[in-house]
A and B are shown apart, each in its own frame.
Chain A
Amino acid sequence: MKRISGYSFKVALCLWLLSLAAAGQDTIDVPLRLGAGAALYSPVAAVAGLYPRGAEINGFYDFNERITLAADGGFSSFIHENYNYRYENDGFYLRMGADYNLLNPLLARGRYYAGISLRYGLSLFSQKVPSIEYENYWGDYLTSGESSFHAAHFLEASPGIRAEIFNNFFIGWSVNVRLLVFSGTGKHLRAVDIPGFGNGSKPFSSGFNYYLSVRIPYRTKRVIYIKPVRETEGEETNPDRQTSGIGR
């Protein structure tokens, strides 16, 4: 009985391997990379006279051909002046998470990315409101808010794209949608801006950013891409056409 089951298993394994061969498969060597880069929005905003101003650097590590572990860190300075108040803050932030490449490895080849990133963010900042003007029935009233230090937490989802322009040099951009989990400021003197997040007076924030990065291959991973063949009578199989594929 033992011999029969072992023999049956070997037959089944051979049949499965033959079916793979009949379906067709590609083998591609995908470079896994690690590297660092910088976001461009804050320095460009500084040149253009906009706020927030600062700098952000990014670090990346390809876990596999689809998933990249990433961390962003930066600082920002923000000043906002309205007709009735002036707000200032300075702070640092850190975002950590992962990117998932929606392109299959046969297309991406370790050079192109179109996917979505998920991040957890922490922001440490100090804020002050040097002037508040308030007008009502009793007249004009001037006051201010004292400097205070806070820690905020948020989540971010960022669909984006990235491409290798020349040897190991990448450029890309992403659209960011963020959810404020905890502002740390209380419900009255909320932050007008939270470094790394955006408008702190609302629970959601959105924006976009450009990135430049250098990503160096640290090893190569062989990925098997299986092309299922549609078995229709009289139809010839075009080796250049894939109906679906699974990259392993």
Chain B
Amino acid sequence: MSISGDLKRELPILMTLMCLIVPALQFCAPESCYEETVSQVKAGFYQTGTGNIVTADTVSLYGLEMVSTPVYNKSADLTGISFPLDPSTESCTYVFIINGITDTVTFRYSSFPHLISKECGYSMFHTLDSYNSTRNLIDTIIIRNRNITIPYEENIRIFF
């Protein structure tokens, strides 16, 4: 390290000044939340017998006694759907209308809080235990992943 005589004399002054002068502060603006915060059950549609992915012509979905606020309202050409569970109870019931045929499915689960990040706060995750379903169109439901979280990984397969 080559130091001239002048710089050697100035170095103590420079270092003292650097210690006394307030350094450039990091940005203090609060960060925003850009992540998804609502957990949902991810359900895929499959054909009974072949196990192939199937496309439903029309899908309507709403919570029991919540027909005025559907999650899906006659949505067309869907191979899968996603819907949230009620964190205030240990079970909730959905009404599925697939290709005009109505089925009612009750899910049972446990719920717990999960920190997304400091900026986003907490979400409610679930562990899916079991289900009950009518069998007007739906043949069976297979639980593939009991952990109901935010990443879009398939949780259940609905066969009809």
Contacts and interface: CB of A to CB of B under 8 A. Distances in A.
* A and B from one complex: yes
Interface string A119-148: 000000000010010101111010101000
A122 B160 CA distance: 55
Interface stretch (B44-52, B86-94, B138-146): B86-94
A219 interface: no
A80 B118 contact: yes
Considering residues A111, A138, A139, A208, which has the most beta carbons from chain B within 10 angstroms of its beta carbon?
Answer: A138
Q: Interface extent on A, as a size class?
A: 35 or more
Contacts of B3: 107, 242
Interface in A210-228: none
A83 B86 CA distance: 21
A201 B117 CA distance: 6
Given A138-B86, A188-B125, A241-B2, A129 B117 contact: no
A188 B115 contact: yes
A163 B16 contact: yes
A18 B115 CA distance: 69
26 contacts: A82-B118, A107-B1, A107-B3, A132-B113, A132-B121, A132-B122, A134-B87, A134-B122, A134-B123, A137-B71, A138-B87, A138-B92, A141-B124, A145-B113, A163-B18, A173-B23, A188-B112, A188-B125, A189-B113, A190-B115, A192-B118, A201-B115, A201-B117, A202-B117, A206-B26, A208-B23
Interface of B: 1-5, 8, 11-12, 15-16, 18-20, 23, 26, 38, 63, 66, 69, 71, 83-88, 92, 112-119, 121-125
